[in-house]
Structure 1
């Protein structure tokens, strides 16, 4: 019986250390959203669950931050984030943000225009196919991924 308890204790210690390491390795991300937006809060939760450490700034008017970060008006969505020198506009999946940060392309960032059903934070019974767009330095954009 003592052997079983030692193994259990070691597993608990190992799990705690791994959990601490994950928290320590979390990527900081600045998120700008309206306080009343529930889907934005769900996207923040999605990012947190996927290893990001969101710092949320609630604002009434997001246009100044979108303009400052270079988000083309036609790519606008309900929230804007900034991570690793890139803008993240809308419901971009966390795995694609990680890919962007790993690849480090010359770009302003990623965008998911509007609020497509089935994207992170917009989960529900219906899902639509959508594109994640790479915003180039000149403001043009191209498809980065399809979901």
Structure 2
């Protein structure tokens, strides 16, 4: 339960960022949802970078992982929106566009995560300032 405030606050940040992308790239229900594709690709890259780099650092407080991973990125990326888009595209008579959208989501997501993991691994060897663990008692 001590991690909940970090996840909650991180979720607010991620949701706000996601809303910003959706407002910058509006779309109809039957359109190719570029905002979702962009958010999920960025989120996959950042999570890969964090997992390979920051998460591996000794002494990183659990609240930081929870706030950034589950909170910010969990609310920023929305793979459930991909499924809704696929169903909407199929129902609107655009199943081929749906398959293209799914393929793009998977290819870009896996590619971004792999790149994030690779770049994050380079972070392991850099000296970073300590993050105090006082927040773990939130």
TM-score scaled to structure 1, two decimals? 0.27
Higher relative contact order (CA 8 A, sep 6+): 2
Higher helix share: 2
Larger Rg: 1
TM-score scaled to structure 2, two decimals? 0.28
